[in-house]
Amino acid sequence: MVTGGDEGIFQRVGPVPAVWTADPPVPGYTDRTEQLAELRQFADQVRAAPAVVAVHARPGMGKTAFLRQAAAVLRDRFDICLQVDFAAWHRDGRVDMDGVLGGMLEALYVAQQWIPADPAGRHRRYLSLLEGQRVLVLLDNVTEPAQVEYLIPNSAHALVLVASHVRLHDLVATHRAELRHLTGLSTRHGVELLEVIGVGERVKAEPGETERLVEICGGSPHGLQIAAGRLRFQPWLSVAELVAELESEVVSNAGDPARTEGRHEMTKGLDSAYRALDADAASLCRRLAVLPGREFPERIIAAAAGIPVRVARPRIGVLVAMDLLEQVDGGFRMPDLVRMYAAGAAAAEDDPEELDRCRARVVRAWCAEAMAADRAVLLDRYRVPDSFEPVAESETAGLGKKAALRWFGRWHGSLLDVLRHAEAQQLDTEAWQLFEAMWPFYSTHSYLQAWLEAGALAVTCAHRAGAVAAEARVRCLRSRASMNQGDFAAAATDLDEARRLAETVDDGRRLLASVCDFSGQLAYRQQDFERALADFAQALAISEDLGDERGTGLQAQFCGRSLGRLGRYGEALTALDRAKLLLERAGDTRALSRTAFSRGEVLLAASREAEAVTSLHEAVEIANGLEASELVVKPLELLTELARRNGDQAAERGYLTAVVELHLAGGSPDAARYQARLQELSEED
């Protein structure tokens, strides 16, 4: 066939000879089996137009290797395969598309003298040669949709497979492209890759640390190859030591030149993605990399940039589109490799003082969110007066009680990191206020080690700031964790000092009542019920004098419990009935659950078992409604004991199953004891 016009010199006398320019597959290629199988099915479909599949991934995730593997998998479906790496055709900030087309025509056996000089002529020649052919086009490092559109063959049997670090959504509208996201290797396949590339024995010896290495690298084949290189050429370096180095680089730019160079090798593949960002998105990327915490809600990200949320959203969208941020439940996470890279960029490009101001803004924003969530759980409880104004309207302010507690659970890891950072940077007021705001969560969940650590940081900061009332308060809050751990001596030390401090505070009656409350709790746990009653009675008198209805209800409950232990059952039930009435008015459902439990204990001691069971079930029901697992355990344990005492094995088994689940979830050592009893019941059946 001879074409007319200025293409008369181009003559086709038959089909284009078989051409296959794809690089061979990477040796030892692992994973991606599901994506490759899906691609084969897609290639087999009958269609009326060429097909386009755009694969998006962060640099270093193996896009190029995926294209090579795909070409091998699809080898029997196509006669022609043309591969182009656009990174090789960048000239002065743009892609030389004339050169790209010229190279593709050469690959199709068009002699140099017959390649048209003008772009339009080259494009027409390209389309005419591939018309109707079974052709696979592999386009790597694409940066914009137009590059793809220019190279789509004129054949319904064609498949264009695109790899890019940007999301090419426009191709969906213009060519009905299929979009695919290539994530990092799974832990198993990441370990397999390390074994394949020569460090198999090393990683098998340290399986747990190897899994962490894959996690730090985000499953990036490039990052894992660099890590394997470190292990091969530094045989004295253990996987655990390499992991420790990399973990320090995630949060710090400090280190010797060799470690800095190693970090650069692992992250340099991100250069192209970072350079593609506009100034605002790049600035936000750098700031997120130096923040405390690993995951961030949208409002915290906005605080990092010092801008409103509505302004931050498009910038966040850019980072997500470039795979530099990952969407997680309720917020965003920066992958560790990206964090390393962006932290290095921040050290090189940003004013250290501005980064410090950024971190301080973020600490205050977290504190504002936590304080609002604390108030959402319970508005009317004693708190040390606030010392700073929230930096932004809180998104947690409108939450209900259960949602607010879930918020604390969701962000607990980040909040603890923020508290550590606040103490290190001497943001003392924010540190103790953040710990105080976390009290509703810690008091209803079994995070004892984190609770003690956070309390220690808060006490240090309050003391350093000379905040006497705050120090007394956070010592009280820490003492509860010590009590829960069974360390009564540490709790007593905190409470003795808290009482001494409270007595020096002007108008500190509410604070003193709180200290008496905690002291009574300690005496009660030590089974010194006379002393506990005296402490609770003192707190009750102060609360009544202040007109504090909720405080009065709480102390009436504690007095009732102590009276019950002293065998004064009538007085105890009167006090607990009063507590229930006052706490219902105050809307304190957590305290109502405890009151129902206390009433069940007293009724049981008074040999009123049926009423006791009813009250214990009420305590469980209220606590379940709050999703407060710690409040559920004790009434369930008591119900279990009652069922066992009465020989009701079916009821005992049901209660035991729930108790075991709760203890296991909280990491309690008591889980084994209850599991053993559950096993006994199974053997008796």
Bridge partner list, 140:
85
pLDDT number for residue 10: 32
pLDDT number for residue 14: 41
pLDDT number for residue 254: 39
Task: Report the distance separating Cα 182 and Cα 202, nearest Å.
Answer: 28
The CATH class, in words, for 271-350 is mainly alpha
The CATH class, in words, for 5-181 is alpha beta
Quick one: which of 280, 291, 346 has its CA closest to 317? 280
Chunked into runs of 10 residues, the chain (685 residues) has average pLDDT values of 34 57 78 81 84 79 83 89 83 75 86 82 89 91 85 90 79 74 76 74 80 78 71 76 72 43 53 78 94 90 93 90 80 82 88 94 93 85 68 68 87 92 94 94 83 95 95 96 92 96 88 95 95 96 92 94 95 95 88 92 91 90 78 86 86 84 71 82 72
Quick one: which of 58, 79, 48, 5 has its CA closest to 270? 58
Task: Report the distance separating Cα 561 and Cα 568, nearest Å.
Answer: 10
pLDDT number for residue 17: 63
User: Looking at residue 95, what DSSP letter applies?
Assistant: E
pLDDT number for residue 273: 66
On whether the CB atoms of residues 128 and 15 are closer than 8 A, the answer is no
Domain ranges of the chain: 5-181, 187-251, 271-350, 360-453
pLDDT number for residue 487: 93
Task: Report the distance separating Cα 487 and Cα 489, nearest Å.
Answer: 6
pLDDT number for residue 393: 61
- CA–CA distance from 145 to each of 50, 168, 415 (Å)? 15, 6, 41
On whether the CB atoms of residues 400 and 271 are closer than 8 A, the answer is no
pLDDT number for residue 444: 79
Bridge partner list, 163:
55
pLDDT number for residue 95: 77
pLDDT number for residue 511: 93
Report the greatest alpha carbon distance in the chain: 112
Note the pLDDT tens digit of each residue in 414-471: 999 999 999 999 999 999 999 999 998 898 776 888 899 999 999 999 999 999 999 9
Q: In the 3-class helix/strand/coil scheme, how is 167-231 assigned residue by residue?
A: CCCHHHHHHCCEEEECCCCCHHHHHHHHHHHHHHHHHHHCHHHHHHHHHHCCCCHHHHHHHHHHH
- The reply to whether the predicted model has a pTM over 0.95 is no
- CA–CA distance from 546 to each of 379, 504, 511, 552 (Å)? 17, 19, 12, 9
pLDDT number for residue 263: 47
User: Which residues, including other chains, have CB under 8 Å from residue 494's CB and lie 6 or more apart?
Assistant: 459, 475, 476, 478, 479, 482
Bridge partner list, 56:
164, 181
pLDDT number for residue 453: 93
Bridge partner list, 84:
139
Indicate if 271-350 has the same CATH topology as 5-181.
Answer: no
Q: Say how many CA atoms lie within 13 Å of 678 toward its Cβ.
A: 16
What is the β-pairing status of strands 51-56 and 295-296? unpaired
